């Protein structure tokens, strides 16, 4: 070969090598960024080219799909969408997805690597590709009771219910809510609906998942945590010994008396009596006597200060460090900086009901292929042990007194042992706005098992202030949720 030809051959070889390098760079090094590029419509078209799998409750789908015109062949539909939105989230051709629809998107679209074998078999047999299913732990009757109760109450609010022995989430309701079906389509068809759901255009903020993502001052429901701390640290060893609590009680390093609601018997009250009538002075003094460090340690055992993943993220509940004794006293009755999500307070009730063991909360029981083969199953997992079994049983007896003969009597259920705690939490600068009404509870059946623990919070701006109480507004909703779970197991 003469010299000019050899140079041309080398040059052509270099061109081919350059093309091969570029091709491999695009296919491998840049594959993910190109796939996720919002301008790459092929990915979105492929995502909606096949039927999406279902989210399942009690063996029945609460989602579906329907064919549409245009590039995107299928779009998501929802059954009782507003009721289930805090569980499912939404998936939209225009606005993306959130919550379970986003977290389990790979399973639902059929693109998850764990579906490779199933997809390969379907391809060989000529069967069209389908998404897998997400089987939840939710109880349909409990969810309906929770949502209907919130809707009937009006205002805003949320409910979380847990099975104490496993951590399974049985209900997760938020109100006001929205129907994800109205935003499942394209930007042109659903743009108005999307705008109406945004907080800047809608003060009700219906897309806020109040059961997981909102934290409220828990008020007197936090006294359950304070009582647990008193028992666990040996400040008191039983429910019925006098606490030597004065009345009035002046908070340390101040001249400010901590007030009780009304003329209730709080002087030298026992823990049981203090919880029954909800004495601020007794539990404020308990928190102050224990100190910030011990109170924070106990709150953390119940899950405070950390986000929870169910797998949907729940905002971290708050109990502060570095507080002085008076601030610790206020925080120990659920005020000052203390704040909790409804899920968090359901976890508190759940741990007490489960003899002191807190199970990690979760709402996905199983992932399946479209033909119902199991891909992954969730195993219940112990999260922490906030109380010994002995102290948990003492606290159970105290909470049961609250319902039998105290502020929680609206949660009584015939033939069922119910433990609970009411709460009315201050809201706004100098308590200027309507307070939040709380109730947390659990139910025990004849065999001694506790199938459900519940937390309810109500924020009603239009209610008459003097009519707002945890026992009046929130306890009846908790009762209906507990009854729904118990009846569903018969």
* Catalytic positions: 220
DSSP string computed for 170-236 = EEEEEES---GGGGSS-HHHHHHHHHHHSTTT-TT-TT--TTTT--B--GGGGHHHHHHHHHHTTS-
Answer whether 160's CB lies under 8 Å from 343's CB. Answer: yes
How far apart are the C-alpha atoms of 459 and 32, rounded to whole Å?
A: 44
Of 359, 358, 362, the C-alpha closest to 311 is 362
Cα–Cα distances in angstroms (integers) from residue 363 to residues 27, 253, 310, in the given order? 37, 46, 6
Alpha-carbon distance of 20 to 14, in angstroms, equals 10
- Counted residue by residue, the chain has a size of 490
d(CA 238, CA 355): 16
Cβ–Cβ under 8 Å, residues 284 and 223: no
Contact 278, 422 (CB under 8 A): yes
C-alpha distances in Å from residue 203, one per residue of 67, 116, 150, 198, 200: 34, 45, 18, 9, 7
C-alpha–C-alpha distance, residues 6 and 263, integer Å: 105
Which contiguous run of DSSP H or E holds residue 355? none
């Amino acid at each position: 070969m003469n010299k000019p030809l050899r140079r041309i051959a080398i040059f052509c070889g270099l061109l081919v090598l350059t093309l091969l390098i570029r091709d491999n760079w695009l296919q491998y090094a840049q594959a993910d960024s190109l796939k996720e590029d919002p301008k790459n419509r092929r990915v979105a078209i492929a995502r909606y080219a096949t039927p999406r799998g279902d989210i399942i409750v009690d063996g029945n789908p609460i989602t579906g799909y329907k064919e549409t015109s245009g590039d995107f062949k299928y779009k998501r539909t929802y059954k009782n969408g507003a009721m289930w939105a805090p569980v499912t989230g939404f998936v939209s051709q225009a606005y993306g997805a959130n919550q379970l629809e986003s977290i389990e998107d790979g399973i639902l679209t059929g693109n998850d690597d764990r579906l490779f074998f199933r997809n390969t078999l379907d391809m060989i047999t000529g069967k069209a590709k389908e998404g897998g299913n997400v089987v939840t732990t939710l109880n349909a009757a409990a969810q309906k009771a929770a949502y209907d109760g919130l809707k009937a109450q009006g205002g805003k609010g949320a409910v979380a219910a847990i099975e104490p022995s496993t951590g399974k989430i049985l209900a997760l309701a938020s109100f006001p809510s929205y129907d994800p079906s109205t935003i499942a389509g394209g930007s042109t068809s659903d743009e108005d609906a999307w705008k109406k759901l945004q907080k800047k255009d809608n003060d009700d903020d219906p897309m806020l998942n109040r059961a997981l993502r909102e934290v409220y001052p828990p008020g007197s429901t936090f006294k359950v945590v304070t009582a647990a701390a008193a028992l666990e640290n040996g400040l008191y060893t039983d429910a019925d010994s006098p606490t030597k609590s004065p009345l009035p009680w002046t908070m340390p390093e101040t001249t400010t008396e901590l007030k009780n609601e009304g003329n209730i018997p709080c002087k030298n009250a026992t823990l049981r009596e203090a919880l029954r009538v909800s004495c601020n002075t007794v539990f404020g003094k308990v928190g102050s006597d224990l100190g910030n460090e011990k109170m924070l340690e106990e709150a953390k055992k119940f899950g405070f200060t950390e986000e929870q993943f169910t797998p949907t993220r729940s905002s971290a509940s708050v109990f502060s460090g570095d507080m002085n004794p008076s601030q610790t006293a206020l925080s120990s009755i659920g005020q000052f900086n203390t704040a909790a999500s409804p899920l968090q307070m359901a976890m508190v009730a759940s741990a007490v009901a489960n003899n002191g063991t807190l199970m990690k909360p979760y709402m996905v029981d199983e992932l399946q292929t479209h033909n119902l083969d199991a891909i992954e199953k969730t195993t219940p997992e112990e999260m922490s042990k906030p109380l010994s079994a002995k102290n948990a049983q003492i606290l159970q007896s105290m909470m049961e007194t609250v319902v039998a003969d105290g502020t929680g009597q609206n949660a009584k259920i015939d033939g069922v042992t119910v433990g609970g705690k009411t709460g009315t939490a201050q809201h706004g600068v100098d308590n200027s706005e309507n307070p939040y009404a709380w109730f947390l509870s659990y139910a025990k059946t004849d065999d001694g098992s506790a199938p459900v623990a519940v937390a309810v919070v109500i924020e009603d701006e239009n209610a008459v202030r003097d009519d707002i109480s945890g026992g009046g507004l929130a306890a009846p909703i908790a009762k209906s949720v507990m009854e729904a779970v118990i009846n569903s197991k018969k």
